[in-house]
Amino acid sequence: MSLVDIGVNLTNAAFDHDRPLVIERAIAAGVGTMILTGTTVDTSQAAQVLARHYPGTLYSTAGVHPHDVRHCDAATASHLRELSIHPEVVAIGECGLDYNRDYSPRPEQEYWFEAQLQLACELKLPLFLHERDAHQRFLEILQPYRSQLTAAVVHCFTGNAEELKAYLDWDLHIGITGWLCDERRGLHLQELVAQIPLDRLMLETDAPYLTPRTLRPKPKGGRNEPAFLPQVLQTVASAIAKPVEEVAQATTATAYQFFQLPPDKNNSG
């Protein structure tokens, strides 16, 4: 069994003391491919450099998270475009809108979301998307570009049935995290996940965040890491009443197709 973690913040300072061991543990746990999330120009560059040292195992995205767009400047788009030339970079993002915390002003979030949409269309790269409490405005900005995009995934989906239907109707992919494993706030997702076709479903940890609450024993310090992705897999498989192996193979194949990864590492069963 070989899994793909489509969203891991491996450049986060939480991994500074043991990053190589985290990667080793992930591989040992069956997570053979990891997509490192870029959230600023600096972290996107760091992710690309790290991925270059683990060819065929690590890949990266290049983008600016809505929390961080307040730091963007006239050179940001050029920096992201230059980063995207590297073969390790397989998507634009994490980008989108976050009206929940508003760490960046909403007009700036919207401007830079659209700028990264334009970049993805120009470079013909898939999009790694973030949306929180901004569903309608998110769709309004995305709509003019959807037909030009190669593919897009709504990362860490936690929304309701209406929102999920809208994303699926727009032919978007859906990323599911350990939020699903949370008995306090993830139960509605366990009902919704069965509505996601397996060729649109992908798995992610969003490590070091969103540690699955089903994990036993609980990790010291509560840090999530890609080795815990099988917990998400098991919860998804249980929720949709399908064998773990079938869900693993399908979500891995979907991720390889979405990110256009080299086929030699694809899961054959």
List pLDDT tens digits, range 156-199.
Answer: 999 999 999 999 999 999 999 999 999 888 999 999 999 999 99
User: Up-side HSE of residue 37: CA atoms within 13 Å toward CB?
Assistant: 24
| 31: three-class secondary structure by DSSP | strand
Cα–Cα dist 91/88, whole Å: 9
Question: What does the pLDDT look like over 218-269, one tens digit per residue?
Answer: 988 899 999 999 999 999 999 999 999 999 999 999 999 999 999 754 444 3
Q: What angle do CA 262, 267, 269 make, to 5 degrees?
A: 155
Residue 1 has pLDDT above 80, yes or no: no
Cα–Cα dist 90/130, whole Å: 17
Per-residue pLDDT, 220: 83
According to DSSP, the β-strands at 127-132 and 89-98 are: parallel
DSSP E strands in the chain: the ranges are: 3-8, 31-36, 58-62, 89-98, 127-132, 152-154, 173-176, 201-203
Per-residue pLDDT, 263: 79
In the chain, % of residues over pLDDT 90: 93
> Amino acid letter at 145?
Y
The structure tokens listed for 206 are 């969003």
| 191: three-class secondary structure by DSSP | helix
Cα–Cα dist 113/95, whole Å: 6
Cα–Cα dist 8/184, whole Å: 23
